[in-house]
Amino acid sequence: MTKLSRREFLASTAAAMAAGPFISTSSMRARAQESRKLGFAICGLGKLSTDQIAPALMKTKHCRLAGIVTGTPAKAQAWQAKYGLDTRSVYSYDTMHRMAENRDIDVVYVVTPNALHARDTIAAAKAGKHVFCEKPLEISVERCQQMIDACRQAGRMLGTAYRCQFDPHHLECIRLARERVFGAPNIIQAGFAIDVGEPGQWRLKRELAGGGALMDVGIYALQATRYLSGEEPVLVSAVETKTDPRRFAEVDESMVWTTRFPSGVVAYCSTSYKAGGIQNLRVNADDGWFELDPAFFYGGNRGRRSDGKEIRYPQIDLFAAEMDDFAQCILEGRPTKVPGEEGLRDVRIMQAIYESARMSRAVSLA
């Protein structure tokens, strides 16, 4: 069970007391039940927020929906109606500074396009809120650093929404790798490709997305090679391809890359926006192997091992899991395993992958 930190306990008690005479007995009871729940404001009400994050938030133990940030009044109305949010819980990107006055909001979950993450994270931090931010953290190392600095200066936590780090299937693979159950890992393969769909969306615009398939889904494969090896790559080499230069005029369509890690582990990876079908990771170790296929779904991932055993766990809501973990980290005053620095590392490596593909040479990261 979660333990409240002294500071959080005092804060929640103070809030309950401040509510004073206007709070009814039944709502006080509700409030008490929710005393361990942190208020999340969802910033950016696109498909991911609507279809995944908001429903997941309803399943969490330690979070509650406390606000929204949107530039579209129709979306605000729809969300208010659906989730019973009062008007003071609704913000636009220009009014986020007013969150400083809203004690109901503890965390802002930034779900805007990649290149707006810094803007929204910094605004939230300045309003005194913790920030949980979708991946990729931002589109450049510099902007990631600005986000990290802003949260540090505000004394607030910054988390990167790497949901796979909360998937029992991935956690089991990490255990198999770390405990050398099949000996030392030597070659890791990971790939994640999707059919990105609609031509008009922000994901296909460089200004908002910063990049294409690599930044959006290849990042899962890259992440996996890092947490499975437990190391940071020292060399990366990449080859890009574009078969539909009209649809993918501004961003990468497909990319394959290889990396070497300090211990000698190597990885080979792929990503694409052109079509799905690649959705897997495999760790080859000295005495065997294990894999997940599919590996990166929201749910329903499964795997197998060279000894014939399955890697299969009951499906959990990964968005709920990562939000609950972030809330618990805040409540318990301990660091998250997916801090902003973790998001920055991937952005740095992705920039090296782009550079390698562009320059036709390996790029050192040592």
Give CA angle at 351 (47, 341), nearest 5°.
70
Told to check if 332 binds its own copies by CB under 8 A, we report: no
- Known catalytic residue at 135: yes
Which residue number, 203 or 260, has a Cβ lying nearer to its own copies?
260
Which residue number, 67 or 303, has a Cβ lying nearer to its own copies?
303
One residue of 83, 93, 202, 268 binding its own copies per CB under 8 A: 268
Dist CA 245 CA 230 (whole Å): 36
Q: How far is the CB of 214 from its own copies (least distance, A)?
A: 13
Tell me the one-letter amino acid at 248: F
Told to check if 266 binds its own copies by CB under 8 A, we report: yes
Which residue number, 71 or 262, has a Cβ lying nearer to its own copies?
262
**Residues 161-200 close enough to bind its own copies by CB under 8 A:** 182-184, 186-187, 189, 191, 193
Told to check if 230 binds its own copies by CB under 8 A, we report: no
Which residue number, 107 or 214, has a Cβ lying nearer to its own copies?
214
Which residue number, 42 or 228, has a Cβ lying nearer to its own copies?
228
Told to check if 260 binds its own copies by CB under 8 A, we report: yes
Which residue number, 72 or 306, has a Cβ lying nearer to its own copies?
306
Tell me the one-letter amino acid at 38: L
- Residue 90 C-alpha from the chain's centroid: 23
Which residue number, 143 or 260, has a Cβ lying nearer to its own copies?
260
One residue of 152, 207, 306, 316 binding its own copies per CB under 8 A: 306
Q: How far is the CB of 345 from its own copies (least distance, A)?
A: 19
Q: How far is the CB of 304 from its own copies (least distance, A)?
A: 10
- Work out the angle between the directed axes of helices 141-154 and 340-359 (0-180°, nearest 10): 170
Dist CA 360 CA 362 (whole Å): 7
Q: How far is the CB of 133 from its own copies (least distance, A)?
A: 29
Which residue is associated with the tokens 């809203």?
102
Strands in 254-260's sheet, in edge-to-edge order, are 310-311, 303-305, 288-292, 279-285, 185-193, 266-272, 254-260, 235-241, 363-364
Element (H, E) at 171: helix 168-178
Bridge partners for 239 per DSSP: 256
Told to check if 237 binds its own copies by CB under 8 A, we report: yes
Q: Count Cβ atoms below 10 Å from residue 29 Cβ, excluding itself.
A: 10
Told to check if 297 binds its own copies by CB under 8 A, we report: no
Dist CA 273 CA 167 (whole Å): 24
Element (H, E) at 348: helix 340-359
Catalytic residue among 91, 109, 220, 227: 220
All residues at 6 or more sequence positions from 356 whose CB lies less than 8 Å from its CB, including other chains = 236, 237, 238, 257, 362, 363
**Residues 3-62 close enough to bind its own copies by CB under 8 A:** none
Told to check if 307 binds its own copies by CB under 8 A, we report: no
- Known catalytic residue at 273: no
Q: Which stretch binds its own copies (CB under 8 A): 42-50, 75-83, 237-245, 330-338?
A: 237-245
Q: How far is the CB of 361 from its own copies (least distance, A)?
A: 4
98 half-sphere exposure, CB direction, 13 A CA radius: 12
**Phi, psi (deg, nearest 5) at residue 61:** -95, -30
Q: 351 near 220, Cβ under 8 Å?
A: no
Q: 346 near 135, Cβ under 8 Å?
A: yes
Site residue total, its own copies (CB under 8 A): 50
Told to check if 93 binds its own copies by CB under 8 A, we report: no
Active site residues: 135, 220
Contacting positions for its own copies (CB under 8 A):
182-184, 186-187, 189, 191, 193, 235, 237-243, 254-260, 263-270, 272, 274-278, 282, 284-289, 306, 356, 360-362, 364
